[in-house]
Structure 1
Amino acid sequence: MKCAALTGISPEVIRDLREGRPRTIELQSTQNIVTIAGIESGTSVQIFMTSTDVDDLGPGDGGICVDLLSSSISMKRIVEYSKGIYYEERERMSARVQVKYCFSSVVREVFHEKLCSPTYVEVLKSSSYHAG
Protein backbone atom coordinates (compact mmCIF):
# COMPACT_ATOMS: atom_id res chain seq x y z
CA MET A 1 0.00 0.00 0.00
CA LYS A 2 1.42 3.40 -0.99
CA CYS A 3 0.84 6.28 1.45
CA ALA A 4 2.24 9.65 2.53
CA ALA A 5 4.98 9.53 5.19
CA LEU A 6 5.56 11.82 8.17
CA THR A 7 9.13 11.40 9.42
CA GLY A 8 11.05 12.39 12.53
CA ILE A 9 8.02 11.95 14.79
CA SER A 10 8.83 11.57 18.48
CA PRO A 11 8.79 7.93 19.71
CA GLU A 12 6.63 9.10 22.65
CA VAL A 13 3.98 10.42 20.24
CA ILE A 14 4.01 7.15 18.29
CA ARG A 15 3.72 5.16 21.54
CA ASP A 16 0.79 7.37 22.64
CA LEU A 17 -1.00 6.86 19.30
CA ARG A 18 -0.65 3.07 19.63
CA GLU A 19 -2.99 3.27 22.62
CA GLY A 20 -5.78 3.91 20.09
CA ARG A 21 -7.08 7.37 20.97
CA PRO A 22 -7.12 10.12 18.33
CA ARG A 23 -4.41 12.76 18.85
CA THR A 24 -3.75 16.18 17.36
CA ILE A 25 -0.11 16.80 16.46
CA GLU A 26 1.52 20.07 15.41
CA LEU A 27 4.16 19.62 12.71
CA GLN A 28 6.87 22.21 12.06
CA SER A 29 9.22 20.23 9.84
CA THR A 30 9.16 21.65 6.32
CA GLN A 31 9.23 18.17 4.80
CA ASN A 32 6.22 17.04 6.84
CA ILE A 33 4.26 20.23 6.04
CA VAL A 34 4.92 19.75 2.31
CA THR A 35 3.69 16.15 2.60
CA ILE A 36 0.49 17.18 4.42
CA ALA A 37 -0.12 20.02 1.92
CA GLY A 38 -0.05 17.44 -0.89
CA ILE A 39 -2.97 15.48 0.58
CA GLU A 40 -6.43 16.40 -0.65
CA SER A 41 -8.66 17.60 2.16
CA GLY A 42 -11.81 15.67 2.89
CA THR A 43 -10.42 12.37 1.68
CA SER A 44 -10.06 9.24 3.78
CA VAL A 45 -6.29 8.77 3.86
CA GLN A 46 -3.83 6.60 5.74
CA ILE A 47 -0.45 8.08 6.62
CA PHE A 48 2.73 6.28 7.66
CA MET A 49 4.47 7.81 10.70
CA THR A 50 7.99 6.98 11.82
CA SER A 51 10.63 8.37 14.16
CA THR A 52 13.27 7.85 11.45
CA ASP A 53 14.53 11.03 9.72
CA VAL A 54 13.57 11.49 6.05
CA ASP A 55 17.23 11.28 4.96
CA ASP A 56 17.66 7.92 6.72
CA LEU A 57 14.30 6.39 5.75
CA GLY A 58 14.66 3.16 3.83
CA PRO A 59 13.31 -0.36 3.33
CA GLY A 60 12.83 -2.24 6.60
CA ASP A 61 12.22 0.83 8.78
CA GLY A 62 9.26 0.41 11.09
CA GLY A 63 6.44 2.75 12.02
CA ILE A 64 2.69 3.00 12.26
CA CYS A 65 -0.11 3.75 9.84
CA VAL A 66 -2.75 6.20 11.01
CA ASP A 67 -6.05 7.49 9.64
CA LEU A 68 -5.98 11.22 8.91
CA LEU A 69 -9.10 12.64 10.57
CA SER A 70 -8.42 16.34 9.90
CA SER A 71 -5.61 18.69 8.91
CA SER A 72 -4.95 22.41 8.72
CA ILE A 73 -1.97 24.53 7.72
CA SER A 74 -1.39 27.95 9.26
CA MET A 75 1.12 30.78 9.09
CA LYS A 76 2.31 32.87 12.04
CA ARG A 77 4.01 36.22 11.62
CA ILE A 78 6.55 37.28 14.22
CA VAL A 79 7.94 40.83 14.41
CA GLU A 80 10.84 41.63 16.76
CA TYR A 81 11.94 45.18 17.58
CA SER A 82 15.35 46.17 18.84
CA LYS A 83 15.97 49.64 20.29
CA GLY A 84 13.21 51.19 18.17
CA ILE A 85 15.34 51.35 15.02
CA TYR A 86 15.71 47.83 13.74
CA TYR A 87 13.00 45.25 13.37
CA GLU A 88 12.95 41.76 11.98
CA GLU A 89 9.92 40.03 10.54
CA ARG A 90 9.70 36.27 10.31
CA GLU A 91 7.04 33.81 9.29
CA ARG A 92 6.55 30.32 10.63
CA MET A 93 4.35 27.75 8.94
CA SER A 94 2.93 24.81 10.83
CA ALA A 95 0.47 22.02 10.18
CA ARG A 96 -1.92 20.48 12.68
CA VAL A 97 -3.16 16.97 12.00
CA GLN A 98 -5.57 14.82 13.94
CA VAL A 99 -4.80 11.14 13.48
CA LYS A 100 -5.87 7.76 14.85
CA TYR A 101 -3.79 4.57 14.97
CA CYS A 102 -4.61 1.78 12.48
CA PHE A 103 -1.76 -0.73 12.44
CA SER A 104 2.00 -1.17 12.64
CA SER A 105 3.90 -1.46 9.38
CA VAL A 106 7.29 -1.66 7.71
CA VAL A 107 8.63 0.34 4.75
CA ARG A 108 9.03 -1.61 1.52
CA GLU A 109 10.09 1.28 -0.74
CA VAL A 110 10.58 5.06 -0.39
CA PHE A 111 9.45 7.63 -2.99
CA HIS A 112 11.18 10.95 -2.28
CA GLU A 113 12.25 12.97 -5.31
CA LYS A 114 13.70 16.20 -3.92
CA LEU A 115 13.76 18.52 -0.92
CA CYS A 116 10.39 20.27 -1.38
CA SER A 117 8.34 17.34 -2.61
CA PRO A 118 6.07 15.07 -0.56
CA THR A 119 7.46 11.85 0.83
CA TYR A 120 5.58 8.63 0.02
CA VAL A 121 6.32 5.07 1.03
CA GLU A 122 5.14 1.62 0.04
CA VAL A 123 4.36 -0.19 3.30
CA LEU A 124 3.69 -3.76 4.28
CA LYS A 125 1.06 -4.43 6.91
CA SER A 126 2.67 -6.31 9.77
CA SER A 127 0.87 -9.39 10.93
CA SER A 128 0.90 -10.64 14.46
CA TYR A 129 -0.38 -14.02 15.45
CA HIS A 130 -1.39 -15.07 18.94
CA ALA A 131 -1.57 -18.64 20.08
CA GLY A 132 -4.67 -19.21 21.98
Structure 2
Amino acid sequence: MKAFALTGIAPEVIRELKLGKPRTIELQSTHNVVTLSRVNPGTPVFMTSVDMEDLTAGDSGIMVDVLSVSIMMKRMMEFTQGYHYEERERMSARIKVKCAASATVKSVTHEGLVHPVEVEVVRSSCYHAG
Protein backbone atom coordinates (compact mmCIF):
# COMPACT_ATOMS: atom_id res chain seq x y z
CA MET A 1 0.00 0.00 0.00
CA LYS A 2 1.33 3.46 -0.94
CA ALA A 3 0.94 6.32 1.52
CA PHE A 4 2.32 9.71 2.40
CA ALA A 5 4.69 9.66 5.40
CA LEU A 6 4.95 11.97 8.40
CA THR A 7 8.37 11.54 9.98
CA GLY A 8 10.05 12.55 13.22
CA ILE A 9 6.82 12.18 15.22
CA ALA A 10 7.42 11.90 18.97
CA PRO A 11 7.23 8.26 20.16
CA GLU A 12 4.83 9.37 22.93
CA VAL A 13 2.36 10.65 20.31
CA ILE A 14 2.51 7.35 18.40
CA ARG A 15 2.01 5.38 21.64
CA GLU A 16 -1.04 7.48 22.51
CA LEU A 17 -2.52 7.05 19.02
CA LYS A 18 -2.09 3.26 19.34
CA LEU A 19 -4.59 3.39 22.22
CA GLY A 20 -7.26 4.00 19.56
CA LYS A 21 -8.66 7.45 20.35
CA PRO A 22 -8.61 10.18 17.68
CA ARG A 23 -6.08 12.92 18.44
CA THR A 24 -5.20 16.28 16.94
CA ILE A 25 -1.52 17.05 16.57
CA GLU A 26 0.25 20.16 15.31
CA LEU A 27 3.25 19.80 13.03
CA GLN A 28 5.74 22.54 12.14
CA SER A 29 8.52 20.66 10.34
CA THR A 30 8.69 21.93 6.76
CA HIS A 31 8.73 18.45 5.20
CA ASN A 32 5.68 17.36 7.22
CA VAL A 33 3.73 20.54 6.33
CA VAL A 34 4.59 20.00 2.64
CA THR A 35 3.37 16.40 2.88
CA LEU A 36 0.15 17.48 4.59
CA SER A 37 -0.54 20.01 1.83
CA ARG A 38 -1.34 16.98 -0.37
CA VAL A 39 -3.48 15.18 2.22
CA ASN A 40 -7.28 15.24 2.42
CA PRO A 41 -9.56 13.57 4.97
CA GLY A 42 -9.69 9.87 4.15
CA THR A 43 -6.13 9.76 2.74
CA PRO A 44 -4.01 6.97 4.29
CA VAL A 45 -0.95 8.36 6.09
CA PHE A 46 2.02 6.55 7.63
CA MET A 47 3.50 8.05 10.83
CA THR A 48 6.88 7.16 12.29
CA SER A 49 9.30 8.48 14.88
CA VAL A 50 12.21 7.93 12.46
CA ASP A 51 13.69 11.16 11.01
CA MET A 52 13.08 11.86 7.32
CA GLU A 53 16.79 11.49 6.42
CA ASP A 54 16.98 8.09 8.11
CA LEU A 55 13.73 6.53 6.84
CA THR A 56 14.45 3.25 5.04
CA ALA A 57 12.90 -0.13 4.32
CA GLY A 58 12.19 -2.07 7.51
CA ASP A 59 11.36 0.95 9.68
CA SER A 60 8.13 0.66 11.64
CA GLY A 61 5.30 3.05 12.41
CA ILE A 62 1.52 3.26 12.23
CA MET A 63 -1.05 3.83 9.53
CA VAL A 64 -3.61 6.46 10.47
CA ASP A 65 -6.97 7.51 9.10
CA VAL A 66 -7.04 11.28 8.50
CA LEU A 67 -10.18 12.88 9.94
CA SER A 68 -9.30 16.54 9.29
CA VAL A 69 -6.41 18.71 8.10
CA SER A 70 -5.81 22.45 8.34
CA ILE A 71 -2.73 24.40 7.31
CA MET A 72 -2.31 27.89 8.73
CA MET A 73 0.08 30.77 9.19
CA LYS A 74 0.86 31.91 12.72
CA ARG A 75 2.16 35.34 13.54
CA MET A 76 4.80 35.49 16.21
CA MET A 77 6.05 38.62 17.91
CA GLU A 78 9.54 38.77 19.37
CA PHE A 79 10.41 41.63 21.70
CA THR A 80 13.96 42.80 22.29
CA GLN A 81 14.69 44.82 25.43
CA GLY A 82 11.18 46.28 25.40
CA TYR A 83 11.86 48.78 22.58
CA HIS A 84 11.95 46.80 19.36
CA TYR A 85 9.81 44.01 18.17
CA GLU A 86 9.98 41.77 15.17
CA GLU A 87 7.02 40.10 13.57
CA ARG A 88 7.52 36.65 12.05
CA GLU A 89 5.24 34.17 10.38
CA ARG A 90 5.41 30.41 10.80
CA MET A 91 3.44 27.88 8.81
CA SER A 92 2.04 24.94 10.72
CA ALA A 93 -0.45 22.17 10.13
CA ARG A 94 -3.00 20.58 12.44
CA ILE A 95 -4.16 17.09 11.66
CA LYS A 96 -6.74 14.95 13.44
CA VAL A 97 -6.03 11.25 13.04
CA LYS A 98 -7.04 7.86 14.33
CA CYS A 99 -4.74 4.83 14.35
CA ALA A 100 -5.70 2.16 11.81
CA ALA A 101 -2.85 -0.38 12.04
CA SER A 102 0.83 -0.92 12.67
CA ALA A 103 2.94 -0.94 9.51
CA THR A 104 6.46 -1.49 8.20
CA VAL A 105 8.14 0.43 5.38
CA LYS A 106 8.83 -1.55 2.21
CA SER A 107 10.31 1.34 0.15
CA VAL A 108 10.71 5.14 0.35
CA THR A 109 10.30 7.78 -2.37
CA HIS A 110 11.44 11.33 -1.65
CA GLU A 111 12.29 13.77 -4.42
CA GLY A 112 13.39 16.72 -2.29
CA LEU A 113 12.33 19.14 0.43
CA VAL A 114 9.38 20.63 -1.48
CA HIS A 115 7.91 17.22 -2.34
CA PRO A 116 6.01 14.93 0.03
CA VAL A 117 7.63 11.80 1.41
CA GLU A 118 5.91 8.70 0.04
CA VAL A 119 6.31 5.14 1.26
CA GLU A 120 5.19 1.68 0.26
CA VAL A 121 4.13 -0.05 3.48
CA VAL A 122 2.99 -3.46 4.63
CA ARG A 123 0.40 -3.54 7.38
CA SER A 124 1.52 -5.67 10.30
CA SER A 125 -0.57 -8.67 11.24
CA CYS A 126 -0.81 -9.98 14.75
CA TYR A 127 -2.46 -13.25 15.58
CA HIS A 128 -3.26 -14.55 19.04
CA ALA A 129 -3.50 -18.24 19.77
CA GLY A 130 -6.56 -18.96 21.82
Same fold by TM (over 0.5)?
Answer: yes
Cα RMSD between the aligned structures? Answer: 1.4
* Matched AA of 2:86: E
How far has the Cα of 1:83 moved from its partner?
A: 5.6
Identity level (%) = 58
Give the unaligned 5+ runs of structure 1: none
Instruction: Report the secondary structure of 1:33's partner residue.
Output: helix
How far has the Cα of 1:77 moved from its partner?
A: 1.5
What's the counterpart of residue 19 of structure 1?
Answer: 19
How far has the Cα of 1:89 moved from its partner?
A: 2.4
How far has the Cα of 1:127 moved from its partner?
A: 1.1
* Matched AA of 2:32: N
Quote the Cα distance in structure 2 between the aligned partners of 1:44 and 1:97. 12
What's the counterpart of residue 57 of structure 2?
Answer: 59
How far has the Cα of 1:82 moved from its partner?
A: 3.6
Structure 1 segments of 4+ aligned residues over 6 angstroms from their partners = none
Quote the Cα distance in structure 2 between the aligned partners of 1:96 and 1:113. 24
Query: What TM-score, normalized by structure 2, do the two folds share?
Result: 0.93
* Matched AA of 1:46: P
Quote the Cα distance in structure 1 between the aligned partners of 2:128 and 2:74. 49
Query: What TM-score, normalized by structure 1, do the two folds share?
Result: 0.92
What's the counterpart of residue 75 of structure 1?
Answer: 73
Give the unaligned 5+ runs of structure 2: none
Quote the Cα distance in structure 1 between the aligned partners of 2:25 and 2:43. 16
Alpha-carbon spacing, 1:103–1:84, altered in 2? closer, same or farther (3 Å): closer
Task: Tell me the number of residue pairs that the alignment of Structure 1 and Structure 2 aligns.
Answer: 130
Q: How does 1:22-61 map to 2 (within 5 A)?
A: 22-39=22-39, 41=40, 43-61=41-59
